[in-house]
């Protein structure tokens, strides 16, 4: 079997969130099970300059009005790539989602190029059996397959976050190289607009999302308008939890830590804490419970609930470290909190991969109070690194953290703390439960060890994706 993954991010070259991590790790895990998975991503300069370019797979005098384009064959470590090299669209500053004036056409170009590889193949005759698109940027890919000529590869759409849908005015239909009859509710139309994600969810053979609980939520209140369509397609919708890349997120091998550790050597975790406190400007207090968050500052991430609890944390003797960027209002509020509580609250506004690794090696409790969380990766990193996650019970957070309770403490399954209601009081209550357990070190260590012993690798999820591919009936081409 052969599969082409298509998406707009790829760690470590282009990443704004979990999508980039998944695009790097999942195809490698599926390849390890003997499937020929390759990737198509835009030739952003950060990718183009970092990977080995092997040759040209296809070329076009113009693609979606963006001028000449080529598909290049390339190779990242352990991963065959195709790069969509179209300088007007992809070789410029501004990040993957800047330049709103051509957001629709440039990702339509990516989706069209993917469909081309699926229908025609590359110069060497490689043609994938399955086109597997990720998020709205690739939503038109099943439409180009459905409305195009030639062989029809199977199509799969994965939703990493349904809040982002790629909605544009219907008047641009012609710019997207779609026929007029695509603009119907059976095709790409959604409430009078063109909706890329909706097109993919309507037309792909199989749909997946990144946790079983999120797969349920998006058929109901969490569907951001697409719940009806998803409920209608529930037989084709799979919830498969993400894994973590153990080559990157492993405290025994992490080059970012001053001291590496594992389950057998938990004491080696300790030196990371004063180092982190020093770097962040926190008092080097060995006894203060250290709460932390690493997150995009977006209302859906619920960090406002943490802001509601800053004073409560400090007055309870805890420390708080926040690493994040996004909403300017939230950035300002966290910076003010740090000013109010020097040495006890530290805030880094920005994106810093190495510092994120150090957070996990130093903190005691990791806060993920999301209003919605399709899967979430940080609560998995937290458990692998011996931090107890404190999460709102939604989406993948509900599927991956077992909350402390008398029963889960007794049967040894607890790995963190959970709360349900999205408000500061409910988070405060969960914080109190965390503080109470912190005062019982043997119990704390049992929960910590349970989290560190869990296997969040990609092998299991990769097998689930293979099973899902296996359910797609063969096409008569």
Which helix (H) or strand (E) is 396 found in, with range?
Answer: helix 395-400
Residue number closest to ligand ADP, CB atom: 18
Q: List the one residue from 7, 243, 369, 376 that touches ligand ADP (CB under 6 A).
A: 376
Which lies closer to ligand ADP via its Cβ, residue 330 or residue 377?
A: 377
Distance CA 198, CA 185 (A): 9
Q: Any contact of residue 461 with ligand ADP (CB under 6 A)? A: no
Query: Which residue's CB is nearer to ligand ADP, number 70 or number 371?
Result: 371
**323 near ligand ADP, judged by CB under 6 A:** yes
Phi-psi sector, 376: left (phi>0), alpha (psi -120 to 50), beta: left
Residue 313 has phi, psi (to 5 degrees) of: -60, -45
Counting contacts by CB under 6 A, is residue 324 touching ligand ADP?
yes
Considering only 63-71, 114-122, 127-135, 318-326, which stretch makes contact with ligand ADP by CB under 6 A?
318-326
- Please tell me whether residue 164 binds ligand ADP under the rule CB under 6 A: no
Burial class (CB in 10 A: 0-12, 13-18, 19+), 276: buried
- Pick the closer one to ligand ADP by CB: 43 or 347: 347
| Among residues 294, 338, 431, 468, the one that binds ligand ADP under rule CB under 6 A | 294
- CB nearer to ligand ADP: give 120 or 333: 333
Interface with ligand ADP in residues 37-96 (CB under 6 A) = none
- Which position among 147, 164, 351, 444 is part of the footprint of ligand ADP (CB under 6 A)? 351
18 lies in the site for ligand ADP, by CB under 6 A: yes
Does 327 bind ligand ADP (CB under 6 A)? Our answer is no
Do the Cβ atoms of 204 and 156 come closer than 8 Å? Answer: yes
Toward ligand ADP, which CB reaches closer, 128 or 374? 374
Size of the site for ligand ADP (CB under 6 A): 17
Name the residue among 103, 373, 357 with its Cα closest to residue 248. 357
263 versus 354: smaller Cβ distance to ligand ADP: 354
- SS3 assignment, position 42: strand
Inter-residue contact 153 to 27 (CB < 8 Å): no
Minimum CB distance to ligand ADP, residue 382 (Å)? 10
- Residue 448 interacts with ligand ADP (CB under 6 A): yes or no: no
* CA–CA dist 125, 57 (Å, integer): 10
Spatial CB neighbours of 135, under 8 Å, sequence gap ≥ 6: 7, 8, 19, 158, 159, 160, 161, 164, 197
CB 373 to ligand ADP: min, Å: 7
- Crossing angle of the two packed helices 18-31 and 459-470, in degrees rounded to 10: 70
Three-state SS letters, 220-270:
CHHHCCCHHHHHHCHHHEEECCCCCCCCCCCCCCCCCCCCCCCCCCHHHHC
Pairing of strands 237-239, 206-209: parallel
Q: Are 395 and 213 contacting, i.e. CB atoms less than 8 angstroms apart? A: yes
Q: Give the integer Cα–Cα distance in Å for 23 and 13.
A: 11
CB 383 within 8 A of CB 456: yes
Break the chain down into helix, strand, coil percent, rounded to 5: 40, 20, 40
List residues bridging with 326 in a β-sheet: 297
Smallest separation, CB 136 to ligand ADP (Å): 14
* Site track 247-286 with ligand ADP (rule: CB under 6 A), x = hit: ----------------------------------------
Minimum Å distance from CB 328 to ligand ADP?
14
What x-and-dash track marks residues 111-150 binding ligand ADP by CB under 6 A? ----------------------------------------
176 near ligand ADP, rule: CB under 6 A: no
Only one of the segments 32-40, 291-299, 420-428, 432-440 lies at the binding site for ligand ADP (rule: CB under 6 A); that segment is: 291-299
Q: Which of residues 352-371 bind ligand ADP (CB under 6 A)?
A: 352-353, 356
Residue with tokens 């792909």: 204
Interaction of residue 17 with ligand ADP, rule CB under 6 A: yes
Please tell me whether residue 346 binds ligand ADP under the rule CB under 6 A: no
Which residues in this chain contact ligand ADP in the complex, by CB under 6 A? Answer: 17-18, 21, 294-296, 323-325, 351-353, 356, 375-378
């Amino acid at each position: 079997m052969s599969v082409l993954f298509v998406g707009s991010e790829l760690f470590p070259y282009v990443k704004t969130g979990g999508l980039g991590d998944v695009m790097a790790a999942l195809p490698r895990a599926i390849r390890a099970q003997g499937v020929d998975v390759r990737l198509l991503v835009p030739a952003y300069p950060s990718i183009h300059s970092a990977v080995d370019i092997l040759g040209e797979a296809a070329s076009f005098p113009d693609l979606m009005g963006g001028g000449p384009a080529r598909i290049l064959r390339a190779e990242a470590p352990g991963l065959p790539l195709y790069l969509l090299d179209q300088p007007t669209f992809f070789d410029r500053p501004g990040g993957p989602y800047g330049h709103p004036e051509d957001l629709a056409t440039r990702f339509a170009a990516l989706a069209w190029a993917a469909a081309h590889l699926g229908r025609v193949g590359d110069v060497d005759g490689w043609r994938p059996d399955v086109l597997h698109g990720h998020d709205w940027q690739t939503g038109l890919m099943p439409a180009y397959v459905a409305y195009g000529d030639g062989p029809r590869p199977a199509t799969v759409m994965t939703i990493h976050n349904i809040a982002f849908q790629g909605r544009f005015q219907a008047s641009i239909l012609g710019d997207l190289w779609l026929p007029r009859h695509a603009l119907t509710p059976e095709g790409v139309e959604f409430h009078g607009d063109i909706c890329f994600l909706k097109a993919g969810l309507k037309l792909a053979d199989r749909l997946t999302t990144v946790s079983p609980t999120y797969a349920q939520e998006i058929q109901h209140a969490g569907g951001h308008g697409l719940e009806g369509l998803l409920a209608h397609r529930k037989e084709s919708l799979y919830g498969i939890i993400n894994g973590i890349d153990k080559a990157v997120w492993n405290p025994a091998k992490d080059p970012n830590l001053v001291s590496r550790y594992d389950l057998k050597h938990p004491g080696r975790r300790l030196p990371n804490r004063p180092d982190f406190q020093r770097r962040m400007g926190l008092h080097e207090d060995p006894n203060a419970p250290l709460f932390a968050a690493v997150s995009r500052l977006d209302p859906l991430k619920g960090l406002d609930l943490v802001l509601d609890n800053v004073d409560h944390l400090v007055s309870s003797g805890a420390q708080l470290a926040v690493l994040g960027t996004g909403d300017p209002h939230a950035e300002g509020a966290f910076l003010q909190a740090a000013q109010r509580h020097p040495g006890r609250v530290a805030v880094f506004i920005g994106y810093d991969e190495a510092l994120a690794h150090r957070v996990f090696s130093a903190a005691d409790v990791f806060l993920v109070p999301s209003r919605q969380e399709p899967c979430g990766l940080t609560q998995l990193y937290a458990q692998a690194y011996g931090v107890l996650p404190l999460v709102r019970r939604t989406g993948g957070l509900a599927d991956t953290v077992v909350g402390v309770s008398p029963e889960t403490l007794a049967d040894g399954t607890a790995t963190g703390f959970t709360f349900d209601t999205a408000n500061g009081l409910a988070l405060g209550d969960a914080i109190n439960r965390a503080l109470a357990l912190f005062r019982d070190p043997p119990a704390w260590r049992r929960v910590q060890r349970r989290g560190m012993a869990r296997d969040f690798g990609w092998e299991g999820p990769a097998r689930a994706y293979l099973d899902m591919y296996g359910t797609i009936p063969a096409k008569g081409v």
